């Protein structure tokens, strides 16, 4: 989502769709409707802790786990799992990214409530799959296997991460694949057993070092040891290596806001199929574009088709929309080499 999303202010802290609240705030408000606020934990990098506190001023900062370095989701959730174990070992756990869009909140909440009920009585890890509506190469995919006896719940046959557009189309045509939302549920005990099985050194160290009354020791220990943990995702460490993983197929209008192109696909089209976010635009002979510029400016666009036009205070991006995420990453790398970190 560059140039809006920057290393110092990433997309979860942005009102990327001009909805009046940031993606983090939307996620927090959504889950707090079914989970009490004292039972919500936010994992993030330590550099973003103050941003979390600023955007969620009433949130208990003791429930913010600030990691010293980025180590992907597996080490992050190991820490969260142990943190939960010391407070409520019998908890049911919902893991949800903070940078997603949900169109139908009522269906989403019903899906999560059904999932929580399922994991309370069965020893399973339950992923949430969204029925795909287009061949999106920027998403992960879950292949369903045999049904487990419950409506819309299947054993997971495989995970596939960011296929080509052609392969994604084959996935859709097969009828066996669903978008991997990154949302999953399980009892804390079930998740803990999976972590112990796959990452035993980390879990042994946690058990040895921490107690529920020793929050400062926990924080000090994490600051010292977290950088040595493997940089691995929860998918590759737990979900792909654990047998009792299932997928619940849902349709609540999910979108991973990972690129401007994927964001374009989420919204109903306006005039000439253009998506314009709270911007003053005069478009002539232009279609299928996504445009977002500062409110105090007017953009006149002529003859553009399938483009992204994004302007911030210091960067103007104009590029082709199709599979733009790879292009934008390329631009970021080259700009970083030429200008240092000024624009990243």
Instruction: Name the pTM for this structure.
Output: 0.90
- From the list 139, 183, 179, the residue with the least C-alpha distance to 163 is 139
CA atoms of 67 and 227, how far apart (whole Å): 9
Residue 189 has pLDDT above 90, yes or no: yes
Question: What are the structure tokens assigned to 281, written together?
Answer: 């635009």
Q: Residue 6 has what DSSP assignment?
A: B
Q: What pLDDT score does 269 carry?
A: 62
Q: What pLDDT score does 270 carry?
A: 57
Q: What is the pLDDT of residues 331-341, one digit of tens each?
A: 888 998 998 88
Share of the chain above pLDDT 90, in %: 51
Give me the helices (H) in the chain, please: 23-31, 49-55, 73-87, 105-121, 165-174, 188-198, 200-209, 215-225, 234, 260-266, 324-339
CA atoms of 282 and 297, how far apart (whole Å): 11
CA atoms of 230 and 227, how far apart (whole Å): 8
Which has the minimum average pLDDT: 35-49, 119-133, 256-270?
256-270
Query: What residue ranges of the chain are covered by domains with CATH 3.90.550.10?
Result: 11-258
DSSP SS3 for 303: coil
Q: What is the pLDDT of residues 245-277, one digit of tens each?
A: 999 999 998 988 878 887 887 776 656 788 888
Which has the minimum average pLDDT: 22-31, 38-47, 109-118, 143-152?
143-152
Class of domain 11-258: alpha beta
């Amino acid at each position: 989502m560059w140039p809006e999303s920057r290393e110092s202010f990433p997309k979860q802290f942005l009102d990327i769709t001009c909805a009046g609240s940031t993606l983090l705030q939307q996620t927090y408000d959504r889950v707090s409707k079914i989970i009490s606020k004292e039972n919500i934990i936010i994992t993030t990098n330590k550099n973003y802790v103050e941003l979390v506190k600023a955007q969620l001023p009433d949130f208990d900062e003791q429930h913010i786990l600030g990691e010293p370095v980025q180590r992907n989701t597996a080490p992050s959730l190991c820490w969260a799992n142990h943190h939960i174990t010391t407070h409520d070992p019998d908890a049911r756990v919902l893991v949800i990214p903070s940078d997603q869009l949900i169109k139908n909140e009522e269906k989403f909440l019903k899906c999560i409530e059904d999932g929580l009920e399922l994991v309370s009585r069965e020893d399973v890890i339950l992923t949430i799959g969204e029925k795909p509506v287009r061949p999106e190469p920027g998403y992960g995919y879950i292949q369903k296997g045999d049904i487990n006896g419950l409506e819309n719940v299947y054993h997971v046959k495989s995970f596939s991460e960011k296929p080509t557009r052609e392969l994604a189309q084959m996935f859709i045509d097969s009828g066996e694949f669903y978008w991997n939302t990154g949302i999953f549920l399980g009892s804390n005990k079930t998740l803990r057993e999976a972590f112990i099985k796959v990452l035993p050194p980390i879990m042994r160290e946690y058990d040895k070092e921490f107690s529920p009354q020793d929050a400062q020791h926990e924080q000090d220990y994490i600051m010292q040891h977290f950088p040595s943990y493997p940089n691995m995702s929860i998918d590759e460490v737990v979900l792909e290596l654990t047998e009792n993983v299932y997928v619940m197929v849902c349709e609540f209008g999910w979108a991973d806001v990972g690129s401007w192109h994927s964001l374009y696909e989420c919204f109903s089209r306006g005039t000439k199929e253009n998506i314009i976010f709270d911007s003053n635009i005069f478009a002539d002979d232009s279609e299928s574009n996504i445009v977002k510029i500062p409110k105090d400016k007017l953009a006149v666009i002529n003859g553009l088709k399938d483009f992204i036009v994004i302007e911030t205070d210091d960067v103007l991006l104009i590029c082709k929309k199709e599979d733009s995420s790879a292009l934008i990453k390329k631009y970021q790398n080259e700009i970083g080499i030429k200008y240092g970190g000024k624009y990243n």
